[in-house]
Amino acid sequence: MVYSYIEIKKIISSEIAVSIYKKYGFEEGVVSIFHSLSTPPKIENGDIAFPCFNIAKKIGEKPVDIARALCEEFNPESIKEKKEAMEALFESSDFKIDVEDFASLIDKISIEGPYLNFHINKSKVAAYLLSSRLAIPFHDRFMEGYRIVIDYSSCNIAKPYGIGHIMSTAIGESLKRCYEFAGAFVAGINYLGDWGTQFGLVLLAFEFWGDEKKLDEGGVYYLYELYVRINEEQKNDASIREKAKEIFQKLEDDDPYYKKMWEMIREISIKDFQKYYTLFGNTFTHIEGESQYSKSSIENVVHMLELNGILQESDGAEVVFLDDIYPNEKIPPCMIKKSDGTTTYAVRDIAAALDRWQRFHFDESLYVINISQRLHIQQIKGVIKKLNLPFADSMVHVAFGTMTFSGEKMQTRKGTIKFLREIYEQVYQQALALTEGKNVSKDKEKTAKDLAVGAILFAILKNNRIKDFDFQFDRVLNFEGDTAAYIQYTAVRIKSIFKKAEFANSDDKTSDEKILARFTDKIKNDGEILYQVFITNDESSDDIRNLIDSIILEIYKFDDILHNLLKEKEPYILCRYLLKLANLFNQLYSKVRILGAEKESQAKTESDEETIRLVFVRRIYQVLEKGLDLLGISIPDAL
């Protein structure tokens, strides 16, 4: 049996916990140990490392001495001696271990200063990797039964799809795909900004200057021009804001004239958004909006707050004070009703949170919203906590920073925002020019589309989401940089190898079964065959073996990468992983021959050695393909 990488980490964590207790009489939590495990910087130092710093502080010993003592504890015989204690740790879980199987997966245990390093038997992992019928051989649906709601994208109607919303969409879509691949139930909600006083402004602007012909031609872009214009006008005319409030109040009261106009604007906006939702392959479970939590929903929330005695008057407004919820932070009260009697969008967000809890009974509810909304999310959570509702701590703000273009920040009201349409078109034209340069012979437009979508998504997702970053048009399509294009080009290179070898496509399971059936007996108990078919001379054997070891380890770690991504809500973890795996393949490609000499001369014969190499390369391709898919990125047919 070959355990997954996450399972290996669980077993190692339990081993360490047992050994620490046996040696020092100190109980250290298995979960704490699991989260402290890291990867050594060099593969020759091992594959999984346990840093002894924290435990040293608790025990009062030197980290180096603890590492040395634990290393002495770990050998095949001592592992078997601890069998009962280790297996007892997993008695109450679905995960059962065979300690002897585990021991066979560990080549050796060493120390490097204060680190205890575990060396995985890559040959055994390779045997399973080659003989497995699974596209992702070590994948486990480790979040089965978990329920999650993700609020993302949330474009505002009457405005074109802005670049800030593509950031939310890219992050939220990737998280949704990753949670689903890990086995969770996911409700992905596109919560449109389609209600509020600002729509009173849009309706008023259309009354002032609206032209139905221009609306038909310009759609949401024309509506945005009106919005910018009325924002400029109200700077010199205070009555405009009051008129907009009156119109929105009529809209809330279901005035038929304004309701019909609002519905038209909403329909025009969604029609424009949908083009980009389709282009970027978005998979929302629900498209909803603030408008569905209108008058009756708001009245229910206000009534609940009143019944609980937490709605108070402050300067003519009605608010919920949050000092008791956030005693160490200066969080202002959450405004529920303004002094003029109108409600705030915080009330609608509270109504939405209550509704989602009733519908989905989630374990987590994620809000993929810009960092500027941090206070708003804190206030919403604070109100939910004051109501003593059970899901307040399950509400998580997945915040992200700001994207600039040549250092310039975008502002909607001033009309200086960049829209997704112009960003996509510029990147698409660059990609189309690249397909000409690469002599792509067919379907250049689809190839350019795949490259452009990938370039935009990867530019967003490769960064720590909380950090601001500058979008640079001259770099996002660099085939040799930290870009989607580099990974896509690597994957296309592998596909070209398959085509030249007349090897089965990655999704051809019938052919895959036939190929593997020929080699299963040969490879399932002897992973060394993988090294033998790649290494052709003694001079390069160590380098190539280390390279193959590194690739095996990266494929083995795929679920662990996914686990860390979901724990941190950080897609950049997967981006960096895919860049590393692509780089490792390209190093291998430059050092060894994938296809045999007979293939290079276009002969039709096929050797066993070549087929084993191709099966291994296909495993790399399948991980790259799945990883890119989890980011929302496609692989072009050719480059």
| CATH 3.40.50.620 domain position(s) in the chain | 147-293+345-405
Strands 115-120 and 48-51: antiparallel
Among 69-83, 216-230, 284-298, 561-575, name the one with the lowest average pLDDT. 69-83
pLDDT of residue 409: 61
DSSP characters over 472-490 = -TTTTT-TTSSSHHHHHHH
pLDDT of residue 326: 96
Phi-psi region of 430 (alpha: psi -120 to 50; beta: other; left: phi over 0): alpha
- Tens-place pLDDT, residues 337-389: 988 887 888 999 999 999 999 999 999 999 999 999 999 999 999 999 999 99
Q: Could you count the other beta carbons within 10 Å of the beta carbon of residue 459?
A: 25
Res. 429 pLDDT band, cuts 50 70 90: very high
pLDDT of residue 134: 83
- Tens-place pLDDT, residues 451-497: 999 999 999 999 999 999 999 998 999 999 899 999 999 999 999 99
Strands 364-370 and 334-337: unpaired
pLDDT at 137 exceeding the cut of 50: yes
Listed residue (146, 25, 142) closest to 93, CA to CA: 142
Q: What is the mean pLDDT of residues 2-20?
A: 89
Under CATH, which number does the domain 421-630 receive? 1.10.730.10
- Tens-place pLDDT, residues 156-178: 999 999 888 999 999 999 999 99
pLDDT of residue 92: 52
- Helix axis angle, 239-252 relative to 197-209, nearest 10°? 110
The domain covering 147-293+345-405 belongs, at the CATH homologous superfamily level, to HUPs (3.40.50.620)
Do 290 and 195 form a contact (C-beta atoms < 8 A)? Answer: yes
| CATH 3.30.1360.70 domain position(s) in the chain | 5-120
pLDDT at 604 exceeding the cut of 60: no
DSSP characters over 95-153 = ----HHHHHHHEEEEEEETTEEEEEE-HHHHHHHHHH--SSSTT---TTTT-EEEEE--
- Tens-place pLDDT, residues 568-599: 999 999 999 999 999 999 999 999 989 875 44
- Tens-place pLDDT, residues 207-251: 999 999 999 999 999 999 999 999 999 999 989 999 998 999 899
Q: How far apart are CA 291 and CA 279, in angstroms?
A: 26
pLDDT of residue 602: 41
pLDDT of residue 317: 95
pLDDT of residue 508: 52
pLDDT at 415 exceeding the cut of 70: no
pLDDT at 94 exceeding the cut of 90: no
Under CATH, which number does the domain 5-120 receive? 3.30.1360.70
List Cβ neighbours of 71 (8 Å cut-off, separation of 6 or more): 109, 110, 111, 116
pLDDT at 316 exceeding the cut of 90: yes
| In 481-607, alpha helices (H) | 484-501, 509-523, 528-534, 541-556, 558-568, 572-591, 597-600
Residues in the chain: 639
pLDDT of residue 135: 82
pLDDT of residue 163: 84
Higher-pLDDT residue of 89, 361: 361
pLDDT at 510 exceeding the cut of 60: no
pLDDT of residue 608: 79
- Tens-place pLDDT, residues 522-535: 666 678 888 988 98
- Tens-place pLDDT, residues 537-554: 776 788 999 999 999 999
- Helix axis angle, 5-24 relative to 558-568, nearest 10°? 80
pLDDT of residue 443: 85
Lateral strand order in the sheet of 317-320: 312-314, 317-320, 334-337
Mean pLDDT (the chain, rounded): 89
pLDDT of residue 319: 97
Q: What is the mean pLDDT of residues 141-148?
A: 96
Residue type (1 letter), 554 = E
